[in-house]
Structure 1
């Protein structure tokens, strides 16, 4: 039987401690008044705590370019990070000259040194931007932005120094005129889908050549606007990933799907009669050397092709990477005579290919490491937190007990889960599955690659397991539709995985969960980037593993969900129901019939914004369902569906200690923690360690008994007695005589968790009493007087686009509330209270119950002197979006010259929204 809840008196004492006063931080909610206290109501959430940057000291380089600075050859390259950092390396003296922060940018694939020696960088992060770095002034600044574009993947320039940028998702090409600093948009190069890539670009003699993700290479005449596809005669499909002009005449291009290279003569307008096989990206040099063009192959060979004879030769030089920028330099080193081809690799190491001596010199990296951006976070079977990076070369293992990290080699892990003692990572690109043995230390073969999914799959969306098998959901490659379900027998009986593509026709797998021989899956209509979906709505399906067939496929039939593009995570609860989420709604299905058992809209319509493939992550802990709607990490009670927003999060997991570990959407380089505290959570942790034999039976029984006694006293509001039993639990936990019956990890986590519980209980008991100030009409129940609201005054004129009213549409208590409707950003709506006398030096706290239907609003305290001059302002700008009543707080100390205060319910000129206010209170605390 479910334990009885902590008494309502205790619950409201604790809940009152939880309202956060930081402006802009979401306030926490009490359980809805008509509901009995549930586990969610009896759980407290601490304030966010920044832990560390787990992916430290890493260098991620996508591109580089050679220039001249103060008479020296220099390499320009930008390290990925928040923010990105431009590095200037002296190639002659092998030293780092400077590092310049590119605020607001995260990374770049595109550097270009123009004819006048200036460097231009097209950056990703905060929208597509073009930067200029001057070798004279040694500074970098943003000189252009490209509205609506997020990824400026390619860049080139002309003989006059003008710069051309190719973008995604518009598939546009832009020109930046360096003389008058004007931007010209040449528009979309092709119109085959709503999202298009210009992945590569070159400019030769008045023509732009744009490499797309739709097979085509568009020749665009700048003067006439005429377009033509010069690749029509090539038997190639997919993305023109690389393109470089050579000798201002030829185009050297590579198709990603086949790694075939081709050479186009722009003067004769013909392709040379050669297919260059096995080409490795990303660049070749812009000037041939004695008629030879040098390039890398997939098997690490440094090759050349003669533009006159088309003969391909192996130089004998070897290099285990691609050319991320490639330029000729003449170095002052006598051991490197003549011209050398210089490039930079992913980790920031400059590599020199000397043609005369036929040697390859790889210099140690001089690029300073920056915290890498986290991608996915997942708790492992060993109690550690496993973290993958975005476009990174390493992952991290975070130990929550000692707050330490260990790094290991890993590409971009898009999904993480564990099977037994093994962590599995789905790595992009190439839909590769890596296995990490948690019983072993990280090493050259830990993690190891198990297999590639194949079948045109590129991204792993989900991994789960059951009955000795691993199940994998995936998304196809660029420009393709049709994801796959992959099944791998981890017992070793099966050598290769079995791949079932198009389980739901033309849709990708979003989530999978396994139970009793059946895989339950959800889908997304989206395929690889660069192709529009053809399906109208995502589905839920059932797959019979033994009989290898789909047994059912349904559309969601829930009010408020209309043709969902993606159905989020699926998960089973102890109640046996299949839980899931789509758009802004949580739901539970009968797994046998897939009928809807319960559902609820958690966030208002239009409040959330999802990217392609973005699912709604779900995870259970202590009977509470945690769901990440967009970036809103939300706790949901499965019985009542009451919800509570915890924090903003990009990725999250629940640790073995019951705490929430997550990354912030605004800066994904730091790991954060929210401490979670409840009596039942302590019992769940004890039960879990008992099941894993980290706590043996005699100790388990004693710990459970002491916790049971503490719970008994809490139900009777006897806080001090409960604390006494919890202190007894800690004393017993740390007895030397029981050390052989409990692991150190279990002891450490329980010590911390019980100490936090005691602190929470005592802080509730020790809370100073509140002295409430008398307010006129704080709940808007009094009748209007001459169409004015008693106790409240409007600060601004109103009209039909922005106004306020007392309404019975919604209420927290009583019959009415104050409604503010503001649909324009050129005006404000504000109601302020009558004067309330204050005492200087005293801290005043104001709260309101707010229902944010759409948009955002503000709740203010403003202090005034005797002459009516404002002397202090304390504001909470909130955007709760929970679709239910939430408590919002603001507080501040009355200045020395303060005589009175007013409370404001407000939508500023920067805000729009529909917001209801009710039950406004003002108080001071006295010891």
Structure 2
């Protein structure tokens, strides 16, 4: 029998009024454990009709207008539920359980599942005493969300005198037309658990971690002043739209699109002279003459819009993506301001990706199985244009242009040239993302970029030629738009030129007549992007940006020391023997970074960071990594339309001098057939992995249940595949990961299983933490910590981080939790969604929300202050060394701290920027007020002693001999007196112990002791320090050879 949870009911007026009603309370996972109690027939599976074992009905049936029946037409789990219907205007309906023994003073919880078909139902826990039908007390909750299975969770404390509880579902006499199904009832006793104490203060915002000006779309047009303008979108949170001067790159207009973090994939100029773009499913128009943006509403097809193209007759067409609603195209009529959904362009395909528009047709590129479709704008007939060797394969036709009777279909770095009339494939060209419109000088020519070179394609002769004699084009980024423009200013004023813009605003102008070429940068404002990857090691926090970008934050200084705007989108970050590896999308390329060396980025070859490995086997997204035995283990998801992730094992190669010369790697695909790698751990030659059923975007899941596997690195094969046996888990495992070995030697992991025992996912997932023995793979600890929303990422694992405080920190359920591994008490650390987190060296938690990097600092225990030299001579300086001790026993990193120093005797010792300078004989107390992460603490004060000059006349001769004396006010017999000589660098070069038994007499009112100090080498300057019983007594002025102190 399976347990179930959700209910709703209303208190029956005919029942005795309770003495008091207990308040309903909600309980977090960290607050309590719940011990199940026996409920007779909790899932209503024990009969097919009335009577219902373990349950009673009031009034007795049949009764006009009332119905209670065992139902099979709507169940949450199992075969049966119970349905209650109240169509009576005078009678109430009550379904209640057999008595369940309870103990006064204990707290109990009723849970279950309720589907409200009409109006509402109320659920009760009624606490009663034997021999009395009236409840002593009750708690209740109304469920009135119609049309879905609702979760019921109702708690109450048994009052004094209570001996048993009665569970009830009730519909009142005052209402009519109510109907509900009830299923999966549970009744549990609450076992309070002490909350897990956490050592943290409130989070503080560090700031936007990754900023860039990355564009995924652009267009050209004429501005209201007659100048040529460039219309550019940039990625960010939010995304933004900009207008720049196409000749100079100067910004003319810029506006963030409020509430949108979705990429603007297409910008187009329409027949009305205005510019259109889309984000988050909404269409926008930039009014060129008015220089403002207006929202036009949501398209009726899908939220994700990939391309926009305009026709000459006032229409705009958009291509869209949806995993469930499939790839559709919409039409927008500019004159009427109305949308129209043109439907799915290719049955079963999720991407309508690229568009080409003529007066008669709309050509649509399809993915993830490539197809080229033609939509007839007059007849609305859809026809496929087959591309030999391409159609039906795992590719995407990402864009379509129509020039000179030719169709140019884009797919990655391949351009297919097709005759528009005959549909013959004429040519296959390797290119880079965009082609130009036909040249105004030679209409048979179109231009395109490949790496750093410009090429032409002749549509008449079907030939390709490289443009010679011009500088290299922007090499490492894709062109987002080409156009032929006629500048009104600058070098090319009055002459048509080819314009192009790459992804980071790098723009060029090319005159094919004179072969002149100029390049400039569009002055695009940078904007923050969502943090997509986050890891920490060795005092650095590494952040990867969505779409592009990477930054390094120094936790010791509290500053970002590096921001790379061009870095490919990191999906995961791993470490191998102190070296950082970034796994990037797309193509699963691995970049290597050594923080002990200067930073110098190269996208295509070894550098720092630089390309180390390009994982093949159709792999795309390296989300999970671990290391051990000088190997880096990389788990990946495949590319678009593909199933079957891979494990890659990477090792660094070294020369005879120990210098790293490169890497070697081996990739093993489909270790678990048709599944991707969602988590990895390694120990003693074995890789332990967790999987996700998902493949690349656009793929269809073949095996819906996540699994674990063990891979033997020596045998190079999987030795075992399993599903963790979690007590009480009834749903289907959706994915497993991360995995990590704990200090206890157990292998810990996280998995999501469907809340619905039947495996449907729309209701979300139960998020389990578990630990198993690595030798037997037996689960020895497990707990459902929280629930995960159905919308959770099916690609990014849930992270596990072991703190130095012995706690386990995790993003389980896309929330930030701390867990005590001993008893599995769990406590949420912060509210809100947290996908990414890591731990600093001092135990602080760093996490990301949107574009912001946050720090959760450990609470401060105390602060201290020390002096590098507590005793100084006049003129000496010494550094103050503040330290903050945290409650976890670690020392805080003081990056970004503000420290205010004070001296109570500044005439003796002054403090500036953390340095003490001795000014005169005496002592001074130094205090420090330290403000760190918004908290201020006073450090225990320190005392600095400044010694005066008690030397007699000193002479420093060129032979390296210092002669002189030291004066005391009293005899020094019984004391130890030493004199040391320090050079100009402050280094001790000689030391002498004085004879304290034989003063040579008194001078200057005291006892005088002679000194004769021989130096081992030549020194340009010298200063003497005298110590009495280890304490500084006197410091001389600086001495030079053949000089004296002037006494």
Residue 144 of structure 1, CA deviation: 2.5
Question: How far has the Cα of 1:300 moved from its partner?
Answer: 2.4
Change (3 A) 1:471 1:28: closer
- 1:653 corresponds in structure 2 to 838
Match for residue 529 of structure 2? 372
2:241 paired residue number = 86
Name the counterpart of 1:515.
Answer: 683
Residue in structure 2 matched with residue 310 of structure 1 by the alignment? 462
Q: Secondary structure at the match of 2:737?
A: strand
Q: Name 2:801's counterpart in structure 1.
A: 619
Q: Distance in 2 between matches of 1:312 and 1:706?
A: 70
CA contact (8 A) 1:245 1:286 kept: no
Residues 252, 284 of structure 1: 8 Å contact kept: no
Deviations 1:664-700 (A, max 9, x none): 1xxx222112223388x99xxxxxxxxxxxxxxxxxx
- Partner in structure 2 of residue 597 of structure 1: 780
Alpha-carbon spacing, 1:288–1:518, altered in 2? closer, same or farther (3 Å): farther
Of 587, 597, 601, which residue of structure 1 is paired with 2:770? 587
Against the structure 1 CA distance between its residues 509 and 458, is the aligned structure 2 distance closer, same or farther, given a 3 Å change threshold?
A: same
Contact 1:291/1:308 (8 A) holds in 2: no
Is residue 2:707 matched to residue 1:539? yes
Shift of 1:708: 9.0
Partner in structure 1 of residue 631 of structure 2? 469
2:343 maps to 1:190? no
Within the alignment, does 1:549 sit opposite 2:698 as a pair? no
Distance 1:226 1:31, change over 3 A: same
Distance 1:705 1:659, change over 3 A: closer
Q: Displacement, 1:703?
A: 12
| Superposed counterparts of 1:156-171, under 5 Å | 156-169=309-322, 170-171=326-327
Distance in 2 separating the partners of 1:150 and 1:589: 42
Distance in 1 (CA, whole Å) between partners of 2:483 and 2:521 is 19
Give the secondary-structure state (helix, strand or coil) at the position aligned to 2:811. Answer: strand
Structure with higher RCO (Cα < 8 A, 6+ apart): 1
TM-aligned CA deviation for residue 238 of structure 1: 3.4
Task: Select which of 494, 504, 519 maps to 1:347.
Answer: 504
The answer for the alignment partner of 1:130 in structure 2 is: 283
Q: Does 1:294 align with 2:477?
A: no
2:827 matches 1:662: no
Q: 2:641 aligns with which of 467, 475, 479?
A: 479
C-alpha distance in structure 1 between counterparts of 2:887 and 2:750, whole Å: 39
CA distance in structure 2 between the aligned counterparts of 1:116 and 1:707, rounded to whole angstroms: 65
Aligned mates of 1:641, 1:293 — CA distance in 2: 69
Q: Distance between the aligned counterparts of 1:275 and 1:642, measured in 2? A: 61
Change in CA separation of 1:271 and 1:707 when aligned onto 2, cut-off 3 Å: closer
**2:467 aligned counterpart, secondary structure:** strand
Q: Answer with 519-528 or 586-595: which moved more.
A: 586-595
CA contact 2:404–2:459 (8 Å) conserved in 1: no
In the TM superposition, 1:25-44 aligns within 5 A as 41-44=196-199
The Cα shift of 1:154 comes to: 1.0
Q: Alignment partner of 1:280: what SS?
A: coil
Matching of residue 176 in structure 1 with residue 332 in structure 2: yes
Alignment of structure 1 residues 794-805 onto 2, 5 Å: none
Q: Normalising by the residue count of structure 1, what TM-score does the alignment of the two structures yield? A: 0.67
* Deviation at residue 374 of structure 1 after TM alignment: 1.7
Shift, 1:211, TM fit: 0.9
Residue matched to 1:505: 673
Contact 1:204 1:245 in 2 (8 A): no
- The alpha-carbon deviation at position 433 of structure 1 amounts to 0.7
8 A Cα contact 1:677 1:757, kept in partner: no
Equivalence for 1:401? 556
Please list, as runs of the form range in 1=range in 2, the aligned pairs for 1:75-154 lying within 5 A after superposition. 75-92=230-247, 94-106=249-261, 107-123=263-279, 127-146=280-299, 149-154=302-307
* Secondary structure class of the residue paired with 2:375: strand
Contact persistence 2:301–2:330 (CA under 8 A): no
The answer to whether the 8 Å contact 2:733/2:751 transfers is yes
Aligned to 1:821: none
Name the CA distance, whole Å, in 2 between partners of 1:406 and 1:309: 54
Q: Distance in 1 between matches of 2:890 and 2:544?
A: 42
Return the alpha-carbon distance in structure 2 between the equivalents of residues 83 and 415 of structure 1: 23
Provide closer, same or farther for how the CA distance between residues 99 and 544 of structure 1 changes in structure 2, counting only shifts above 3 A.
Answer: same
Structure 1 unmatched ranges of 5 or more: 1-25, 683-701, 711-734, 738-749, 761-927
1:842 counterpart residue number: none
- Which of the numbers 589, 611, 615 marks the counterpart of 1:449? 611
In the alignment, which residue of structure 2 is the partner of 1:489?
651
Q: In the aligned structure 2, how far is the partner of 1:571 from the partner of 1:287?
A: 59
Distance 1:708 1:465, change over 3 A: closer
> 2: CA distance between counterparts of 1:235 and 1:118?
36
Residue deviations 1:325-372 (CA, integer Å, cap 9, x gap): 111101134732632111222222322122112233111331112223
CA spacing shift, 1:218–1:556, aligned 2, 3 Å: farther
- Specify the alignment match of 1:731 in structure 2: none
Give the number of the structure whose alpha-carbon radius of gyration is greater. Answer: 2
Task: Please point out which of 340, 356, 361 is paired with 1:202.
Answer: 356
Q: Which residue of 1 aligns with 2:223?
A: 69
1:709 Cα shift? 15
Match among 400, 405, 418 for residue 264 of structure 1: 418
* Equivalent residue number for residue 420 of structure 1: 577
Equivalent of residue 609 in structure 1, options 781, 788, 791: 791
Shift of 1:757: 11
- Alignment correspondent of 1:672: 854
Whole-Å separation in 2 of the counterparts to 1:707 and 1:643: 18
Once the two structures are TM-superposed, the CA of residue 260 in structure 1 deviates from its matched residue by 2.6
On the 8 A contact 2:680/2:737 being kept in 1, the answer is no
Counterpart CA distance in 1 for 2:821 and 2:860 is: 17
Alignment match, 2:622: 460
Does residue 233 (structure 1) correspond to residue 388 (structure 2)? The answer is yes
* Aligned: 1:411 with 2:544: no
Change in 2 beyond 3 A, CA 1:576/1:91: same
Does the CA contact (< 8 Å) of 2:623 and 2:796 recur in 1?
A: no
Q: What aligned pairs does 1:677-756 form with structure 2 within 5 A after superposition? A: 677=859
Structure 1 residue 756, shift from structure 2 partner: 6.9
Measured against aligned partners, the alpha-carbon deviations of 1:130-165 in whole angstroms (never above 9, x if no partner) come to 111101221112212146834211111111221111
| Structure 2 unaligned spans of 5+ | 1-26, 34-189, 602-606, 656-661, 753-766, 864-882, 892-913, 917-928, 940-1047
Q: TM-score w.r.t. structure 2 length? A: 0.59
* 1:677 to 1:274, Cα distance in 2 relative to 1, 3 A: same
C-alpha distance 707-223 of structure 1, shift in aligned 2 (>3 A): closer
Q: Return the structure number with greater helix share.
A: 1
1:434 counterpart SS class: strand
- Deviation sequence 1:869-923 (CA, Å, 0-9, x none): xxxxxxxxxxxxxxxxxxxxxxxxxxxxxxxxxxxxxxxxxxxxxxxxxxxxxxx
Taking the aligned partners of 2:730 and 2:654, their CA distance within structure 1 comes to 42
Give the Cα separation in 2 of the matches to 1:28 and 1:46: 21
User: Is 1:326 aligned to residue 482 of structure 2?
Assistant: yes
Distance verdict in 2 for CA 1:350–1:709, change over 3 Å: closer
Q: Pick closer, same or farther for the CA change 1:703–1:396 going to 2, 3 Å.
A: closer
Contact kept? 1:464, 1:513, Cα under 8 Å: yes
In structure 2, do the counterparts of structure 1 residues 522 and 366 end up closer, same or farther at CA, with 3 Å as the change threshold? same
* Partner of residue 593, structure 2: 436
Paired residue secondary structure (1:442): coil
Q: How many residues align?
A: 662
Cα deviation, residue 69, structure 1 = 1.4
Report deviation, 1:275.
2.1
Are the aligned partners of 2:499 and 2:507 in contact in 1 as well (CA < 8 Å)? Answer: yes
Q: For 2:196 and 2:293, how far apart are their aligned partners in 1?
A: 52
Checking the alignment, whether the CA contact within 8 Å between 1:473 and 1:483 is kept in structure 2 is yes
1:249, distance to aligned residue in structure 2 (A)? 3.9
TM-superposed deviation, 1:753: 8.9
- Counterparts of 1:360 and 1:611 in 2: how far apart (Å)? 46
CA contact (8 A) 1:386 1:398 kept: yes
CA displacement at 1:532 relative to structure 2: 0.9
| Between 184-193 and 408-417, the greater mean CA deviation after superposition | 184-193
- The aligned residue for residue 518 of structure 2 is 361
